[in-house]
Amino acid sequence: MIRGPPQIVQKCPTDIVTVNRTNIVPRTHRHALQDLRQLRRRDSLRLFSSDHRILKFCTSEEAFQPRLVAAAKLQEEAPQMLDTFPSFKVSPGLAHPLGVSETESGINFAIFSQHASAVTLCIILPKSVHDGMIELALDPQKNRTGDIWHICIKELPQGGVLYGYRIDGPRNWHEGHRFDDSIILVDPYAKLIEGRRVFGDESNKMCRFFGTYDFNSLPFDWGENYKLPNIPEKDLVIYEMNVRAFTADETSSLDQDQRGSYLGLIEKIPHLLELGVNAVELLPVFEFDELELQRRPNPRDHMINTWGYSTINFFAPMSRYASCGGGPVRASWEFKEMVKALHGAGIEVILDVVYNHTNEADDENPYTTSFRGIDNKVYYMVDLNNNAQLLNFAGCGNTFNCNHPTVMELILESLRHWVTEYHVDGFRFDLASVLCRGTDGTPINAPPLVKAISKDSVLSRCKIIAEPWDCGGLYLVGKFPNWDRWAEWNGKYRDDIRRFIKGDAGMKGNFATRIAGSADLYRVNKRKPYHSVNFVIAHDGFTLYDLVSYNNKHNDANGEGGNDGCNDNFSWNCGIEGETSDANINALRSRQMKNFHLALMVSQGTPMMLMGDEYGHTRYGNNNSYGHDTAINNFQWGQLEARKNDHFRFFSKMIKFRLSHNVLRKENFIEKNDITWLEDNWYNEESRFLAFMLHDGNGGDIYLAFNAHHFSIKTAIPSPPRNRSWYRVVDTNLKSPDDFVTEGVSGISKTYDVAPYSAILLEAKQ
């Protein structure tokens, strides 16, 4: 349950400067515009067209006086009269901490901008206090310490205040500056962001985003018996998922106000437990603008960004994942409720974080909301040899300047915030090779940010996972700078497993290497098998069902003429492209999905699966579905129920089998005595059959065979360990429930016919 935040009243000492009250008498719309133009020319003040009136002030030791009074929206009617505005007492404030903080002297605001020449704090008070915008121009002589601008305001409300900044500076484009003081900018250190309240509300697609704060609420109650799961990395089974898409569909049977929310996810924790996973990796939950594609006409302006790889702010939880359109404070509270509930169920929370780029796009069509207008030259990589154009190693128009000292500290503070405030257990870094580039984009061997994350005391308990490539060609699979701490998305695992299972020639050796823990990539220094995050499917690309149902991507709905999305999918449609009623092809597809899942769950390393693959979710061949807030991405709970006793059952039992057998989750790399390769055909490029035995040291050996031929293989079964017999646990060629028998089926002879495109697992038991 959400506790209502209590009101906290504190007394503050008297400060230096006072803002006087005044009354504003409206004029006609035409006269108001004339006054605004005159004021703009005379005092360099701005015309701000929004739902809020503007009041402009300058800080000084004299009483503040209003400099600008304006109409609200430019409408064909006279603006309403403004109420009197409250008086404030202000002081220069403190340079640290950055962002908004509560001090004995009031509410302190501090923002970094190295190259700014003018900074104005813009405040919108709760309507119960004042209906309008107040602008406070900071004095560079009194409100600046080094590169940090700051001010402290006494008697501001302790919550419900919206704020942003107007920042001006050099207009020299070729030097990397993009200052524009007509735009109100979001504080990079804002802990909460206010924007539209309802996800995908197209009637409010042009809304502005503001920082806000909450010093009213009591600390979140994590509970007396609360504890972190602290699951060893070797024991993780990761479930990659999207918070909204998990429960947004009406088949979730949740109340409409709860669908697609943090609280909605809590309601479905029983499903995660039934499946057997013990970690969720959440697609981005930092504040992002899902309607950014609709802000101007373009081929993608019909889409809604549901994946969230377009960060506005690195500290604030996505506010539109709150239930009932509750806004940022409720979002923060409910996010903690979600983490608490997941931890109570023994499930860790890993966040997919995007520090390689932001939502602000490119120089051609910028969407300036924060960093670009605050100090573009600091926050982004620019090519000073090419008119200071933004460098683009992220494929999204800009590249965050991660190894600049100021930017590096921002990222570290953000990560610490999510660990200390929200108790998350780890991070997966999107396009993490960007973190390995210097400020000019050149790759560096020992990137300061990656090292700092590795050594940070607050982050020491966290799982840290790199997606070890970027869109600039820096492919670091197996080579990501790691300080023996970083795990990696193993892209080579994905490709090699796909190619072998679908029957490509010459892949048996690679398949064996990946199953055994990718020692060729990770057996370096003190790295472990679990530093390989093994996956066949991720959010980006085909779903598991589509991997066995489509040879080619079908992305026409994205509006980019089919030019987006990966072309190298290593997929096979099993004979017909897309949906079919052919029973034989559908049976083959079912076997192939089980083969992939079996291979993933018996591989040394850390397995990761995608939400929806447990029932066979389809996106109808779209391998880049980021922009569809529909059933293409949304979990289909009705389909899950239909597959509970077949597909889902197999997936769940296979996960639980892995977690109950230590031989599949070894701490160290496999040695010769740990495995027997039943193979004398390694160098035959046409061989698509692999069999081997894993030895657990206590006689509970496991035998596995994978047949990727289009014909059966009659294979010899080796003798079991002494005083043991072989029991068949898995045969993916059999129908449910015979495809997986937990207690095993006895009577295994000395040979076994392994059907085409199938796999078996035998367990030695007494």
pLDDT at residue 85, as a whole number: 55
Looking at the domain assignment, is residue 474 inside a domain? no
When pLDDT is cut at 50, 70 and 90, the band that residue 77 belongs to is very low
Q: Of 741, 706, 716, nearest to 727 (Cα)?
A: 741
The pLDDT of residue 273 is above 70: yes
Region 629-658: what's the mean pLDDT? 98
Residue 163 · residue 109 · CB < 8 Å: yes
Average pLDDT, whole number, for the chain? 90
The pLDDT of residue 593 is above 90: yes
Q: What percent of the chain has pLDDT over 70?
A: 89
In one-letter notation, the amino acid at residue 419 is V
Measured CA distances, 26 to 56, 67, 72, 79, 665 (Å): 16, 15, 11, 6, 73
pLDDT at residue 15, as a whole number: 32
Separation of alpha carbons 564 and 83, rounded Å: 52
pLDDT at residue 62, as a whole number: 30
The Cα diameter of the chain in Å comes to 99
The pLDDT of residue 38 is above 90: no
CA 509 remoteness from chain centre: 34
The pLDDT of residue 26 is above 80: no
Burial bucket for residue 205 (CB in 10 Å: 0-12, 13-18, 19+): middle
Which of 182, 214, 246 marks a domain boundary? Answer: 214
pLDDT at residue 45, as a whole number: 31
The pLDDT of residue 322 is above 60: yes
Range of the domain at 128: 90-214
In one-letter notation, the amino acid at residue 416 is R
More confident residue, 25 or 321: 321
The pLDDT of residue 360 is above 80: yes
Separation of alpha carbons 567 and 183, rounded Å: 39
CATH, residue 134: 2.60.40.10
* Upstream peptide bond of 756 is cis (omega within 30 degrees of 0): no
The pLDDT of residue 467 is above 60: yes
The pLDDT of residue 28 is above 90: no
pLDDT at residue 4, as a whole number: 41
Residue 78 · residue 26 · CB < 8 Å: yes
More confident residue, 535 or 11: 535
Of the listed ranges 28-32, 284-288, 701-705, the least confidently predicted one is 28-32
The token pair at 609 is 């699966």
pLDDT at residue 431, as a whole number: 98
Q: In terms of DSSP bridges, do strands 348-353 and 382-383 run parallel, antiparallel, or are they unpaired?
A: unpaired
Of the listed ranges 17-21, 22-26, 672-676, the least confidently predicted one is 22-26
Burial 308-334 (b: 16+ CB within 10 A, else e): bbbbbbbbbbbbbbbbeebbbbbbbbb
Q: How many CB atoms lie within 10 A of CB 636?
A: 18
When pLDDT is cut at 50, 70 and 90, the band that residue 86 belongs to is low
Region 189-209: what's the mean pLDDT? 97
Q: Choose, from 287, 360, 363, 467, the residue flagged as catalytic.
A: 467
Of the listed ranges 119-133, 493-507, 636-650, 715-729, the least confidently predicted one is 119-133
pLDDT at residue 657, as a whole number: 98
Q: How many domains does the chain have?
A: 2
Residue 77: active-site member? no
Q: Where are the alpha helices (DSSP H) in 254-366?
A: 262-267, 269-275, 327-344
Which of 170, 192, 214 marks a domain boundary? Answer: 214
pLDDT at residue 87, as a whole number: 77
Looking at the domain assignment, is residue 255 inside a domain? no
Q: Of 4, 491, 507, nearest to 216 (Cα)?
A: 4
pLDDT at residue 130, as a whole number: 73
Q: Which residues contact 729 (CB under 8 A, 6 or more apart)?
A: 657, 740, 741, 742, 744, 745, 761, 762, 763
Looking at the domain assignment, is residue 743 inside a domain? yes
Q: How many CB atoms lie within 10 A of CB 410?
A: 22
225-234 pLDDT per residue, tens: 999 999 999 9
CATH, residue 676: 2.60.40.1180
Looking at the domain assignment, is residue 731 inside a domain? yes
* Residue-by-residue DSSP string for 709-721: SSS-EEEEPPPPS
Separation of alpha carbons 17 and 7, rounded Å: 26
Separation of alpha carbons 246 and 146, rounded Å: 46
Which of 214, 249, 283 marks a domain boundary? Answer: 214
Q: Choose, from 281, 348, 430, 488, the residue flagged as catalytic.
A: 430
Looking at the domain assignment, is residue 207 inside a domain? yes
pLDDT at residue 81, as a whole number: 34
Looking at the domain assignment, is residue 468 inside a domain? no
Q: What percent of the chain has pLDDT over 90?
A: 87
Burial bucket for residue 257 (CB in 10 Å: 0-12, 13-18, 19+): middle
505-523 pLDDT per residue, tens: 999 999 999 999 999 999 9
Separation of alpha carbons 258 and 22, rounded Å: 44
**Cα-atom radius of gyration of the chain, to the nearest Å?**
29
The token pair at 545 is 């069902």
Task: Fill in the DSSP letter of residue 229.
Answer: -
Q: How many CB atoms lie within 10 A of CB 172?
A: 13
Q: Which residues contact 348 (CB under 8 A, 6 or more apart)?
A: 229, 231, 236, 278, 279, 280, 342, 425, 426, 463
436-456 pLDDT per residue, tens: 999 999 999 999 999 999 999
Looking at the domain assignment, is residue 155 inside a domain? yes
Region 412-440: what's the mean pLDDT? 98
Helix (H, G, I), strand (E, B) or coil at 522: helix
Residue 257: active-site member? no
* Upstream peptide bond of 13 is cis (omega within 30 degrees of 0): no
Region 611-619: what's the mean pLDDT? 98
pLDDT at residue 117, as a whole number: 98
Looking at the domain assignment, is residue 751 inside a domain? yes
